[in-house]
Amino acid sequence: MREMNEYSKIKEVAIRSPLQGFVSEEKLSREWEPLRFHAKPHLEKAIVEFNYFRNLLLEEEIEIVDLPSSDLLTIDSIYTRDSILISKAGLILCNMGRESRTPEANENYRTLAKKGYEIAGQIKAPGTLEGGDFIWIDDNHAAVGLGPRTNLDGIEQLKKILGSEVDLHVVNLPDPEHPDDVLHLMSIISPLDKDLALIYKPFMPDTFISWLSSLGIKFVEVPDAEYLLMGCNVLATSPRSIIMLEELPEVSAELEKAGCKIKSYKGLEISRKGEGGPTCLTRPLLRI
């Protein structure tokens, strides 16, 4: 049975290798600065890092859908979560807040359609919505971030697609330092289990914390020193089984105290330079 949350066992996931997303050193040289990567990724090192990350998914017996390259896509396309949402009724194709990423939803759907996935709805302009701004809590509760990449029009369209049976909590996100930078909802919260979430409390509105608490969720907090190192971006492959970036000792220690099993990867080229952690690199298609 399909579970609508961010922590149940991942059965199937869509990912895009740097070989298909970064494509070449020439493409990286053209795009990394306009897309505000912190530095130019090194293609060969990125492929090595990604293969290690991919193997972590395979170790969890997750079926992988490898997304192909396309001339319509930018190097941001390795961050596959953002273009599509999952619902009980099917896929929801996003209209990305960063214009250069607009083609991703339809390009990714070409592959997923061959796997039998159907479309439940599509966000249309002027609405914008990105997958990093949305989390399922359970079948009847979800949250969406209102910020630079997801606007009110997109959220209203999402509400209609999800229907009245889903309580969609809107979270006002703080402004990023630069309007082209990303601060998604999943930059400040990663669900770990039905009753546990990793959060960066300074960016969490009190109303959001209260809403989550009313649903029985407790919190592990990310310290300031590790937030900028992407300490809040972790992927639950099953309840309290976590994939996260290396060099986050305080977060790791707190997660272990909470009973989490942790696997980590280096991620300098594929994650930290582009600010896309393990949740960003994956589009879970089926949790059971």
Tens-place pLDDT, residues 129-166: 999 999 999 999 999 999 999 999 999 999 999 999 99
Cβ neighbours for 180, distance < 8 A, ≥ 6 positions apart? 36, 98
Tell me the pairing of strands 196-199 and 235-238. Answer: unpaired
Cβ-contact 184, 149 below 8 angstroms: yes
Is the pLDDT at 179 greater than 80? The verdict is: no
Q: What is the pTM of this model?
A: 0.96
**For the domain with range 10-287, which CATH number is right: 3.75.10.10, 3.60.150.10, 3.20.10.10, 3.30.365.10?**
3.75.10.10
Tens digits of per-residue pLDDT, 71-116? Answer: 999 999 999 999 999 999 999 999 999 999 999 999 999 999 999 9
For β-strands 241-245 and 90-93, DSSP reports them as unpaired
The runs of H, that is alpha helices, within the chain are 18-21, 25-31, 43-59, 104-114, 152-162, 206-214, 224-227, 249-257
Q: Cα dihedral angle (113, 118, 121, 124), rounded to 10 degrees? A: 10
Render pLDDT for 108-127 as a digit per residue (tens, 0 to 9): 999 999 999 999 999 999 99
